[in-house]
A and B are shown apart, each in its own frame.
Chain A
Amino acid sequence: MAWMTFLTLIWILPALIISPLMDLPARHRLIGRPFCIACVWSARLILGLRWNVIYEGELPARPSIIMAKHQSSWETFMLPALLPPQVQVIKKELTRIPIFGWYLAMMGPITIDRTQRTTALKDLVKQGTQRLNNGVHVLIFPEGSRVPAGARKAFSKGGSMLASRVKAPVIPVAHNAGDFWPNHHWIRYPGTITVVIGAPLDSKDLPTKFLHQQCEEWINNRVDEISATPFQGTVITELTSGKRF
């Protein structure tokens, strides 16, 4: 934690100062991605959190919507390192955190207000379309907040709606970071996190509903296959995980 704070300070503060000189892709390439790589490597060296990434299909050449399981903070650093360049869909509150929030804001995220569902959907589609047209992937955690290992939460339709409107492929991502990085506890267990990058789902001509179902089923099933704690029947309905970030 102390190291992460240090890393954030030595990297982010200078970056905040020089970032006005860079365009968004340069910020992602020179600031965001190296920072994310440093974070997951720090976790690897300090906490013994290794990873094994499995690619199940060929990655699409065009900007895509990445839909991933959300269990911990780890994947929010790992995915930008793995699938660049990408912007994340984040809750508005995050950009108000001093320093780290300013860093997030600098990376051009799609910010949504989770309490206003319809407005959040409109913001997602509007900003997401723009980012995809600029050649950047959009990362969405369709569960909307972190879900403990062994639990599930209904997927929001936003990602599928965006994919189907823009006719962009969806890359589903399953992982079991929650087995090693429990959200509700400060302890982290060493081990190897499995990340499965699924074959892209084609949104072409598929009604939103079925794209949404396909994606949810694939992610939930694949997470179960790789987890030490498969689905235990707990379905989370709270809007937030209770954590600030």
Chain B
Amino acid sequence: MQLIILDRDGVLNQDSDAYVKSVDEWLPIPGSAEAVGKLCKADFTVAVATNQSGLARGYFSQADLDAMHDKMTGLAAAEGGEFAHIAFCPHGPDDGCDCRKPLPGLIHQIEDALKVSAEGAWIVGDSIRDLEAGAAAGCKTALVRTGKGEKSEYKLTSHPTLADAPVFEDLATFVDWLIAQQP
């Protein structure tokens, strides 16, 4: 069993600058559910680590978030995939929490929930802070160009420690590449 950690907005579903606030606004990125299915069939344990400051800001409720995650889980299940754990940070940027990415708190929550180490696991995100959170917990990092990824790619090239992270078109491309690497 190998752990893989995915960011949510901009990796699994379309991101929005106005926040993804309801189940109707949660729109999958084409191929992402299928990619999760492929990972599970290849014996990966898939977890999600996502900042949801919209909760702290009052843009949506826990019930809305649960509904979004039910939709996400359902779409993945239809492709033979499941999420072993969904870790989310409900805090805002000024709350002083230890889980809002780029801090690695969510990754540690996943480790605790699944009783595994995230060291050496891949983390896939569309923003630099996803990769920073992963790197802080010893993960291997990959960027996708969906969501904010195209912009992040420019910043990534001059990042002091992450400039070498591979960049992929989307989650589906990453997963195909990853599975092809397996012995």
B158: nearest chain-A partner, CB-CB: A117
Q: Does B168 contact A (CB under 8 A)?
A: yes
- Neighbouring A residues of B165 by C-beta, 8 Å: 209
Q: Does A121 contact B (CB under 8 A)?
A: yes
In angstroms, Cα B168 to Cα A208, docked, is 7
Instruction: Output the least CB separation between B127 and chain A (Å).
Output: 15
Known: A122-B154, A165-B145. A208 touches B176 (CB 8 A): no
Q: Does B155 contact A (CB under 8 A)?
A: yes
- Contact partner of B167 (CB less than 8 A), chosen from A117, A121, A122, A208, is A208
- Neighbouring A residues of B168 by C-beta, 8 Å: 207
Interface residues of A in 185-214 (CB under 8 A from B): 205, 207-210
Total number of A residues with any Cβ neighbor in B under 8 Å: 13
Q: Does B164 contact A (CB under 8 A)?
A: yes
| Contact digits for B137-154, partner A, Cβ 8 Å, 1 yes 0 no | 000001001000010011
Q: Does A149 contact B (CB under 8 A)?
A: no
- Neighbouring B residues of A207 by C-beta, 8 Å: 142, 166-168, 174, 177
Total number of B residues with any Cβ neighbor in A under 8 Å: 18
Q: Does A44 contact B (CB under 8 A)?
A: no
Known: A205-B173, A205-B176, A205-B177. A210 touches B166 (CB 8 A): yes
- Neighbouring A residues of B169 by C-beta, 8 Å: 164, 205
Q: Does B61 contact A (CB under 8 A)?
A: no
| Contact digits for A148-163, partner B, Cβ 8 Å, 1 yes 0 no | 0000000001000100
The reply to whether A208 and B166 form a contact with Cβ atoms under 8 Å apart is yes
Which one of A157, A165, A207 has the greatest number of beta carbons of chain B within 10 Å? A207
B157: nearest chain-A partner, CB-CB: A157
Q: Does A221 contact B (CB under 8 A)?
A: no
Residues of A within 8 A of B (CB): 117-118, 121-122, 157, 161, 164-165, 205, 207-210
Residues of B within 8 A of A (CB): 142, 145, 150, 153-155, 157-158, 164-169, 173-174, 176-177
